[in-house]
Structure 1
Amino acid sequence: MRKDVQDRRSDVQITPRTFWEPALYAAPFLLVCMTFVIWPVINVFFTSFYENYDFINNTYESIGFESFKQLFSDRYFLSSLKNTLLYVFITVPISTAFALLFASLLNQKIKAGGIFQTAYFLPLVTSSIAIGLVWKYMFNADYGVINSIMNMFGFSGLEWLRQPDDAMAALCVFGIWRALPTSIIMFMSGLQAIDTRYYIAARLDGAGSFKQFRRVTLPLLSPTLALVICTRVISASKVFNEVFVLWNSEPGPARSLYTVVFYIYESFFVNWKIGLASAAALVLFGIVFILTLVQLFVQKKLVFYK
């Protein structure tokens, strides 16, 4: 049968019609992709090397590395790099662990499972602005529900939105909660794809729930786990909405919570430093690209099942 398929493939001849007909179907997508994805990336790359760039007249004096020199001598950009990396390394593992836990619970046949699924998926279909406003009231130091709960258990409340030392904690809590729905959906799809016969065999061998999770679920779920971590790192590196909403379009209390994307936004739309914003975007692209390569390398070592 395989030989017959190969013979039929060899009989297919490429003609102008067989080439142009698929190309016409793909043309709208390719046009949109070129216009809104590929060309902006190329434009940002060149703009980052323009010195004294005039965005209105599209003119520049010379080509060089002046934007990058200004970038790495700006303490706000260096602070944004530190805050972004710290946010990524805090939120990604915690949100991934919680998402895996909730997905495992939701995958069980429990009472009122639909209610729990709706509660966990609600952030995915709710406006970021509306959610941010709710969290602002929850983080309020005077009458917020989070400080009230902490006081009930004997802990003193924090100045979540007022003090720079507490602002990163507030951002991470909000970011972890925002990341749960997508990660839960991905984990649930991976869990439901695991054949139940593996669990039956494990139970026959006397394996308990924890051993089944460690010996069966995690190895078979490792491709999904690697995908979730990869997508979460990329998403967390672009954190912006959370900062913008919680602190009324300011980068945290006393401007202490700059992130790289917020720095790009302020450089472009507020200060009109187009070259500086483009250079920062290029640096962010490089960081995300390196982190993705590292994850792909580690994934080859840790993924047990494909």
Structure 2
Amino acid sequence: MVGKKKKIKNPGLTLKKRNVKTWAYAYAFVAPTVIGVAVLNLWAVIQSIYYSFHEAKGFAELKFVGLDNYIKLAGDMEVWRSLKNVLIYAVITVPIGVFLSLLLATLLNVKIKGKGIFRCIYFLPVVSAPAAVALVWKWLYNKDFGLFNQILSVFGITGPDWLGNPSLAMAAVAVVGIWSMLGYNMIILLAGLQDVPRGLYEAAEIDGAGPVAKFFKITIPMVSPTLFFVIVTTVISSLQVFDTIYMMFKPSSPSFKSVESIVYLFYRYTFQKYNRGYGSAIVVFLFVIIMILTLIQNKLQKKWVHYND
């Protein structure tokens, strides 16, 4: 015997209450992140913009100076040299790092034994402390007892001063940057690859397409939204490089000027010279550059999607 169904007096009201409860739980879960972003990021951006129009030295009172900090910045060759350094760093790390991440994600998306272990190994640099990573690589690059030069000495080759030579320093830092970003980008791209219908690859195999053709004709077009996201975030992080340079190089090093980043310059003026006004102008300048590059990349993404449609 089937029992009688309980009659709901007002189904619309019950549904509304259920939705409110769901949204309340959702907002409760995202609240800590939203508050953290607002306090640590958004408020910091507003403060930096405000300070950039003031003379803020040490504990002295703020003094409004208008565009003086930006005028000084425009004629500061150290700022432009630092910007050139981070652009070179980005040009090296972004294409190589993103390509290798996509290649690793593609290889780890197939059925192979122990792929979970490989994924963990490649993701380890992401969860490692940046300072510890920089110190380990600094030891590897050491000209006297570093592992790289020790390996070269086995073959009778005298290893170079990787970090002391201005012509090699940027390449050395770029290698660390590429190695550090592989795991994070690989996981994001792997998630995008898992949404690609397997039928497309099977149809391509029937048509006689090889692995390379499938990679360029199916994989890249299908993961292009994820790929553009990875490119944008990688460009932003590359322009903000700081910890690797701070831990691996001394300001007195002959190669320091060839790797000094604009964020390091901001750190030096703000926290070492206690000139918050000029330091804020430098970081706002970088913020504007990042915004412009991000907008350009978004435009290119829309054109790419429209072309493929």
TM-score higher than 0.5: yes
Of 53, 76, 89, 2:56 maps to 53
Cα gap change, 1:269 to 1:233, in 2 (>3 Å): same
Alignment of 1:175-254 (within 5 A): 175-248=177-250, 250=251, 253-254=254-255
Distance in 2, Cα, partners of 1:222 & 1:123:
25
Greater mean alpha carbon deviation, residues 286-295 or residues 196-205: 196-205
Aligned position for 1:42: 46
* In 1: Cα distance, 2:40 partner to 2:206 partner: 55
| Compared CA separation, residues 84 and 29, structure 1 to 2 (3 A) | closer
> Do the aligned partners of residues 102 and 32 (structure 1) sit closer, same or farther apart at CA in structure 2, a change above 3 Å counting?
closer
User: 2: distance between equivalents of 1:66 and 1:99?
Assistant: 43
**Cα distance per residue 1:50-92 (max 9 Å; x no partner):** 1x334524421x3322212222322322211110111111100
CA RMSD of aligned residues (A): 3.0
TM-fit CA distance, 1:253: 3.6
Residues 254 and 228 of structure 1, relative CA distance in 2, 3 Å threshold: closer
Supply the AA of the counterpart residue of 1:86. Answer: I
Cα drift, residue 195 of structure 1: 1.1
CA distance in 1, matches of 2:96, 2:224: 17
How far apart, CA to CA, are the structure 1 residues paired with 2:158 and 2:112? 36
Letter aligned with residue 99 of structure 2: A
Q: Describe how 1:122-141 pairs up with structure 2 within 5 A.
A: 122-141=124-143
Distance of aligned partners of 1:203 and 1:155 in 2 relative to their CA distance in 1, 3 Å threshold: farther
Contact residue 80 and residue 263 of structure 1 kept, 8 A: yes
Aligned counterparts of 2:35 and 2:114: Cα–Cα separation in 1: 47
Count the aligned residue pairs: 291
Taking the aligned partners of 2:134 and 2:290, their CA distance within structure 1 comes to 26
1:232: Cα distance to partner? 0.2
Tell me if the contact between 1:98 and 1:180 (Cα under 8 Å) persists in the aligned partners.
yes
Give yes or no for contact 2:57–2:274 (8 Å, CA) kept in 1. Answer: no
Residue of structure 2 equivalent to 1:171 = 173
Give the structure 2 partner of residue 86 of structure 1: 88
Cα contact 1:267–1:277 (8 A) shared by 2: yes
Question: Which region of structure 1 is more displaced relative to structure 2, 166-175 or 101-110?
Answer: 101-110
User: Which letter maps to 1:261?
Assistant: V
CA contact (8 A) 2:93 2:174 kept: yes
List aligned pairs for 1:55-70, cutoff 5 A. 55-60=58-63, 62-70=64-72
Question: Which shows bigger deviation, 38-47 or 224-233?
Answer: 38-47
How much has 1:110 moved relative to structure 2?
2.0
Cα 1:54–1:242 shift into 2, 3 Å: closer
Which one is further off, 189-198 or 65-74?
A: 65-74
Q: What do residues 220-265 of structure 1 show as CA deviations (whole Å, max 9, x unaligned)?
A: 01111111101100111110011011125x3854531210100000
Q: How far did 1:107 drift?
A: 1.2
Aligned to 1:255: 256
**Distance (whole Å) between structure 1 residues aligned to residue 248 and residue 104 of structure 2:** 26
> Which residue identity is paired with 1:203?
E
CA distance in 1, matches of 2:42, 2:212: 47
Deviation sequence 1:109-132 (CA, Å, 0-9, x none): 223323322221110111112211
User: Per the alignment, in what secondary structure is the counterpart of residue 209 of structure 2?
Assistant: coil
Letter of the structure 2 residue corresponding to residue 36 of structure 1: L
TM alignment of 1:254-273, pairs within 5 A: 254-256=255-257, 257-273=259-275
TM-score w.r.t. length of structure 2 = 0.84
**Partner in structure 2 of residue 147 of structure 1:** 149
1:33 offset after TM fit, Å?
A: 4.3
What is the Cα deviation at residue 269 of structure 1?
0.5
Conserved? CA contact 2:57–2:277, under 8 Å = no
Paired amino acid for 1:273: N
Which one is further off, 206-215 or 25-34?
Answer: 25-34
Give the counterpart letter for 1:295 in structure 2: Q
Structure 1 unmatched runs, 5+: 1-7
| Cα displacement (A) at 1:27 | 7.1
Segments of structure 2 that go 5 or more residues without pairing to the other structure are 1-11
SS in 2 for 1:134: helix
CA distance in 2, matches of 1:166, 1:215: 37
Q: Structure 1 154/223 Cα, relative in aligned 2: closer, same or farther at 3 Å?
A: farther
Q: How does 1:274-293 map to 2 (within 5 A)?
A: 274-293=276-295
SS in 2 for 1:272: coil
- The 8 Å contact of residues 120 and 180 in structure 1, kept in 2 or not, is answered as yes
